[in-house]
Structure 1
């Protein structure tokens, strides 16, 4: 039996535009409009999930999805850096940022390390592998990166080399834990999977 997991990145908001660590910011007008215009572009799914962030919930709603919160797909916990821009943190704590970007096990912000995120979402994907049919989840870009790292068996430092544009679908399909990957398709074509 083939399983299919489609991860959808959230629409644009002011935090994404400013390279700000999530601060609970809502979608902006452009992001909301783009998500609404993509509503109906997704094939039916047996499970529809959402990362418990404001922009993911709002994206799911704008897409017309009735999604359940999935804590296992929560965004990377950046601790005390939450709400600050990467430039602000880099100016105040350059050594901490450098460590964070080079050592996947480091969490100088007091939150979760990239390694821990990869482990958490890898465990979730392992569970999803046993569920029949299609799962659609609206998740933060860091969750898409972490799942991609796990599926490819890539070294964790490659996490930072994966770009995930807003409102794209990344599809993982496979059976018995062997996954294939389709990266970042615009939602307008996501139904072709």
Structure 2
């Protein structure tokens, strides 16, 4: 997020409440290393086979952290959480790098 803001010429103070999804023990591992757990994680927004944060908890945390009218610069997973209608639709949202969305 800080590097994105710098590229835009904007000074930011990182907000821990807008941190990306906590993927627990999957952090730093390649998708093929956790492939057996991926189907349940993609299918169930309450699942957290990685021991971190569920998609539902993540979407709720991000939604609670952002008030209407606030301007934020966020990483792709956080943008997905802001743009999805609910946690069940999180993986249906595609966010391309350097995208700008007006969520008002």
Counterpart in 2 of 1:166? 97
Match of 1:146 among 78, 81, 104: 81
Q: Which has the larger radius of gyration?
A: 1
Asked if 1:72 is matched to 2:17, the reply is: yes
- TM-score w.r.t. length of structure 2: 0.90
Gaps of 5+ in 2: none
**Higher RCO, 1 vs 2 (CA within 8 Å, ≥6 residues apart):** 1
Aligned length: 104
Instruction: Tell me, yes or no, if the aligned pair for 2:59 and 2:86 is still in contact at 8 Å.
Output: no
Gaps of 5+ in 1: 1-55, 174-193
As a proportion of its length, which structure holds more helix? 2
Instruction: Measure the CA separation in 2 of the matches of 1:75 and 1:100.
Output: 16
- TM-score w.r.t. length of structure 1: 0.51
Q: Deviations over 1:97-146 (max 9, x none)?
A: 11111110111101101000111011113xx23xxxx5332212111111
Asked if 1:109 is matched to 2:44, the reply is: no
